[in-house]
């Protein structure tokens, strides 16, 4: 792979209303900031009063190939501002409807942190559903807007183990690189519960990028 190959541009929409308490999301966001193919947006910083600039957000979507929602899992969904963003930005005839083709062909993925253990997000766990199942509204939103949906990138027990976080950050970098280099085989990962499982198999990208 040559460094000259055009990388896909990533739009990272980060929504965390309580960043002073963040242990894994903020490091992830900081890491993403250091990558030049990622456009990073701290939604709660830009819209502290929830007044979203629809034009600006739509423009950003148009300019990127990959859209990532990064957020802590709040009541099996996104924090409220990110939901607000969906309500306002994904307009009729922009994201859907007869003229709503702006997002067609883009890739969509969620990167989330869940406080509960992975075992809890199973049919026999106390949450009864996998994270992928719980994210079905977003999966369907991606479908309806013509985006390719990838399984979520998730960390579980996110407020408990320190060592897991370091590994998670390494995987996060790998994921961003792989998305940008288009190294992920969409068909192969399509049925996974989380995309995390596919990451170790990927080649070491940081060294390839040099």
Partner 1 sequence: MTEYFLQAFVYLAAAVIAVPIAKKLGLGSVLGYLIAGVIIGPVTHLVGQETLTIQHFAEFGVVMMLFLVGLELAPSMLWQMRNRLFGLGGLQVVISTVLVAGIALLFEQPWSVSLAIGLIFSLSSTAIVLQTFNEKGLSSTEGGRNAFSVLLMQDIAVIPMLAFIPMLALPELVAAAEGLQSSAEHHEQLNLVAHLPTWAYAIAILASIGGVIVLGHFLSRPLFHYVASSGLREIFVATALLLVVGIAALMSLVGLSPALGTFLAGVVLANSEFRHELESNIEPFKGLLLGLFFITVGAGINFDILANQALVIGLLTLAVIVVKASVLWGLAVMFRIKNSNRWLFSLSLAQAGEFGFVLLSFSVQQHVIPTDIASILQLVVALSMFLTPLLFILFEHVIMPRYQADTSNPKYDDIGHSASVIIAGIGRFGQIVNRLLVANGVKTVVLDHEASQVENLRKIEIQSYFGDATRPDLLHTAGIENAKLLIVAIDNREQAIELITYVKHTYPKVKILARAFDKGHNYELLQAGADFTVNETYFSALELGAEAMTELGFHPFEVEQKKYAFCQIEAAASNQLYQQWLGGSEGEKFDPNYRKLFMQMEDSIKQAMQRDRMDKHDGAERGWTPPPKNYEKGFD
Binding site for partner 1 (CB under 8 A): 49, 51-52, 54-55, 87-88, 91-93, 96-98
Q: How far is the CB of 83 from partner 1 (least distance, A)?
A: 12
Dihedral pair phi/psi, residue 167, rounded to 5°:
-65, -40
At closest approach, how far in Å is the CB of 88 from partner 1?
5
- Report, in Å, the least distance between residue 42 CB and partner 1: 19
Closer CB to partner 1, 23 or 87, in the complex = 87
Burial class of residue 83 in the structure, from the number of CB atoms within 10 Å of its CB (0-12 exposed, 13-18 middle, 19+ buried): middle
Q: Which is nearer to partner 1, 23 or 197 (CB)?
A: 23
Choose between 12 and 95: whose C-beta lies nearer to partner 1.
Answer: 95
H/E run at residue 149: strand 148-149
**Main-chain phi, psi angles of 77, to 5 degrees:** -155, -170
* Least Cβ distance, residue 2 to partner 1 (angstroms): 37
Rank residues 74 and 96 by Cβ distance to partner 1 and give the closer one: 96
Q: How many CB atoms lie within 10 A of CB 116?
A: 16
CB of 91 to partner 1, least distance (A): 7
User: Phi/psi zone of residue 172: left (φ > 0), alpha (ψ -120 to 50 degrees), beta?
Assistant: alpha
**Contact residues for 120 (Cβ-Cβ < 8 A; gap 6+):** 126, 127, 156
Please, which residue, 98 or 200, has the CB nearer to partner 1?
98
**Minimum separation from the CB atom of position 51 to partner 1 (A):** 6
Helices (H), 2-147: 25-33, 43-46, 54-62, 80-89, 131-134, 136-144
Quick one: 18 or 161, whose CB is closer to partner 1?
18
């Amino acid at each position: 792979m040559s460094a000259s190959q055009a990388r896909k541009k990533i739009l990272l929409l980060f929504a965390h209303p309580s960043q002073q308490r963040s242990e894994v999301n903020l490091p992830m966001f900081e890491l993403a900031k250091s990558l030049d193919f990622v456009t990073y947006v701290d939604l709660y910083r830009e819209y502290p009063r929830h007044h979203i600039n629809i034009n600006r957000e739509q423009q950003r979507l148009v300019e990127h190939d990959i859209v990532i929602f990064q957020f802590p899992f709040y009541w099996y969904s996104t924090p409220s501002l990110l939901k607000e963003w969906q309500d306002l930005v994904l307009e009729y005839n922009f994201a859907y409807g007869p003229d709503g083709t702006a997002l067609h062909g883009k890739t969509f993925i969620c990167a989330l942190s869940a406080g509960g253990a992975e075992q809890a997000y199973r049919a026999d766990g106390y949450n009864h559903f996998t994270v992928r199942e719980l994210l079905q509204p977003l999966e369907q939103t991606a479908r309806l807007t013509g985006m390719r949906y990838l399984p979520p990138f998730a960390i579980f027990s996110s407020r408990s183990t320190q060592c897991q976080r370091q590994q998670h950050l390494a995987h996060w970098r790998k994921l961003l690189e792989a998305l940008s280099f288009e190294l992920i085989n969409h068909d192969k990962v399509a049925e996974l519960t989380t995309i995390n499982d596919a990451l170790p198999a990927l080649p070491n990208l940081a060294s390839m990028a040099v």
